[in-house]
Amino acid sequence: MLDWLYALWPGLETSVGLLSLQPPGWGGNLLRGAWASLQIAVGAFALGLLIGTAGALGKLHGGPVTRDLLAVYTVVVRAVPELILILILYYAGTDLLNQALRALGQRPVEISGVVAGIAVLGIVQGAYATEVLRGAIQSVPRGQHEAARAYGMGSVQIFRRVTIPAMLPLALPGLSNLWLIATKDTALLAIVGFSELTLETRQAAGSTRAYFTFFLAAGALYLLMTLLSGRIFGWIEARYRRGQAAQ
């Protein structure tokens, strides 16, 4: 079926063979790596949102000490390269956990790569999410908040029913950017030896010497993830903007 294409482009047949899903090909490894990357990205993004929400509320409504500590957190995380934060948090996190376990009389454990990756990238994402959400919450008019209070809503209810729906359209562009950063930052875990897409690709490329085939294939997978999620975010944004004045 593809014979005419192979005749036209001699290298294609070997490339397709190398990328096939069955064991002589490395396609299965690449897809497994992509799945691992996606899991970490989703987990880190979710954790980042949690930290970011807490951080934004702390920066807006917290006491002076909370606010200063949060300022230190966001400034440090945004000034130090992710790679170094990952190494520090990875080593320090494993160390502290094992010391705590030893103190409790348990045996030390090996932290799974997925959990460590999610925790570390989540802390990084949290700093950026704090700033995005703080800006969005701040731009909700005070009057809406006061009106909700006048209706007798509690602060949790106000947050859930007034603040979140009103700030989401403003926060979504920033959050969608953060999601893209999360998917791309998973590649950094390759350097601490975690088998996500980039490391799987490098191993496949290194052992077959077909660098272009594998790096381009992995690039296509990343691009597929980012373009597809861009569409999804666009769709969510359009949904939440319904009924709002055009900008």
Partner 1 sequence: MNRQRIAQEVFVPHRIVMVAVALGLVVWAALAMRWDWIPRYYDLAVQGIWRTLWLLALSCLIGFALAVPLGLAQAAGPRVLAAPARAFCTVIRGTPLLLQLWLIYFGVGSLFPQFPWIRESELWPYLRQAWPYALLALSLSFAGYEGEVMRGAFKSVAGGQLEAARSMGMGRFAIFRRIWFPQALQRALPTLGGETVLQLKATPLVATITVIEIYAVSSRVRQDTFIIYEPLLLLAVIYMVIAGLLALGFKLLEQRFNRGMLG
| 79 touching partner 1, by CB under 8 A | yes
Q: Which two tokens stand for residue 51?
A: 């930290």
Q: How far is the CB of 198 from partner 1 (least distance, A)?
A: 5
| 87 touching partner 1, by CB under 8 A | yes
Task: Provide DSSP, 126-174.
Answer: HHHHHHHHHHHHHTS-HHHHHHHHHTT--HHHHIIIIIHHHHHHHHHHH
Q: What percentage of the chain's residues is helix, strand, coil (to nearest 5)?
A: 80, 0, 20
Q: How far is the CB of 72 from partner 1 (least distance, A)?
A: 8
> Alpha-carbon distance 153 to 162, whole Å?
10
Q: How far is the CB of 122 from partner 1 (least distance, A)?
A: 18
Residue 115 Cα to chain centre, angstroms: 13
| 103 touching partner 1, by CB under 8 A | no
| 64 touching partner 1, by CB under 8 A | yes
Q: Tell me whether residue 81 or residue 243 sits nearer to partner 1 (CB atom).
A: 81
Total chain residues near partner 1 (CB under 8 A): 41
Q: How far is the CB of 163 from partner 1 (least distance, A)?
A: 27
| 247 touching partner 1, by CB under 8 A | no
| 232 touching partner 1, by CB under 8 A | no
CB-based contacts of 173, cutoff 8 Å, min separation 6: 237
Report yes or no: 166 and 88 within 8 Å, Cβ to Cβ. no
| 193 touching partner 1, by CB under 8 A | no
CB-based contacts of 185, cutoff 8 Å, min separation 6: 41, 44, 82, 121, 124
Q: How far is the CB of 23 from partner 1 (least distance, A)?
A: 23
Which residues here bind partner 1, judged by CB under 8 A? 64-65, 68-69, 76, 78-85, 87-88, 91-92, 180, 184-188, 190-191, 198, 201-202, 205-206, 209, 211-212, 215-216, 218-219, 222-223, 226-227
